[in-house]
Amino acid sequence: MKFFIDTANLQQISEANDLGVLDGVTTNPSLMAKEGITGHDNVIKHYLAICNMVTGDVSAEVISTDFAGIVKEGEALAALHPQIVVKVPMIKEGVKALKYFTDKGIKTNCTLVFSAGQALLAAKAGATYVSPFIGRLDDVSTDGMRLIEDIRTIYDNYGYQTQILAASVRHAMHIIHCAQAGADVATCPLSAILDLLKHPLTDIGLAKFLADHAKGK
Ligand code: E4P
């Protein structure tokens, strides 16, 4: 399973990248705003800064909601850097745009996916990635992981090549369950990735090994 980091924070992207396990980055307008990145030119500069820090795919989200606007924005984003993946919302005009981008060879990430039917449409339109938001489903008493499992079954039934990019990941167990369910990618906060490291027996074991080694000095 690929690990993407779900942030626009350059320091966190750098820390995840230094760990050597980072395969890409996802952003959205809220994550950009959280870092104080506003205005078209600043947002574009920030995407380029991210692309220059990592080697994998970097999702850049369109703001338009009409077909012509999504296409214009998406083509401009894709032209910025070969690592850019155009992030398109799961709306009617978005599905049309996904198909357009697919035909043009432009990589896409279909975002704001909350049902298997939406994921099926994204795959039919040829999306490179589909982003089911598991945490936001859990927030409304709906099993986000069940959606990942359902999409995996549907895609495997027909051999759809669209990659399942589990989004809205909130904690380490989400990452484990995504891997068990066969998600292709999990996009995670840095904290959830680092939490995978933790086990008290590792800490206790290491302290003992170091203490025993020190006895011989
Ligand atoms: C990533 O592509 C999504 O935009 C993001 O994971 C949403 O996460 P949130 O539900 O924590 O805002």
Q: What digits encode the pLDDT tens for the residues 1-59? A: 999 999 999 999 999 999 999 999 999 999 999 999 999 999 999 999 999 999 999 99
pLDDT score of 122: 98
User: What digits encode the pLDDT tens for the residues 139-189?
Assistant: 999 999 999 999 999 999 999 999 999 999 999 999 999 999 999 999 999
Strand (E) positions, the chain? 2-6, 24-26, 57-61, 84-89, 108-113, 129-132, 163-166, 185-188
Atom of ligand 1 lying closest to residue 170 CA: 11
In three-state secondary structure terms, 182 is coil
Indicate if ligand 1 lies below 6 Å from the C-beta of 133.
yes
Q: Is 136 in the pocket of ligand 1 (CB under 6 A)?
A: yes
Average of per-residue pLDDT values in the chain = 98
Tell me if 74 sits within 8 A of 106, measured CB to CB. yes
Catalytic residue among 2, 34, 45, 87: 87
Q: Which residues pair with 132 in a beta bridge?
A: 113
User: pLDDT at position 217, please?
Assistant: 77
**Which of 2, 27, 113, 168 for a ligand 1 pocket mutation test, highest count of atoms within 8 Å of Cβ?**
168
Q: Which residues contact 132 (CB under 8 A, 6 or more apart)?
A: 113, 114, 119, 144, 147, 148, 151, 164, 165, 166, 167
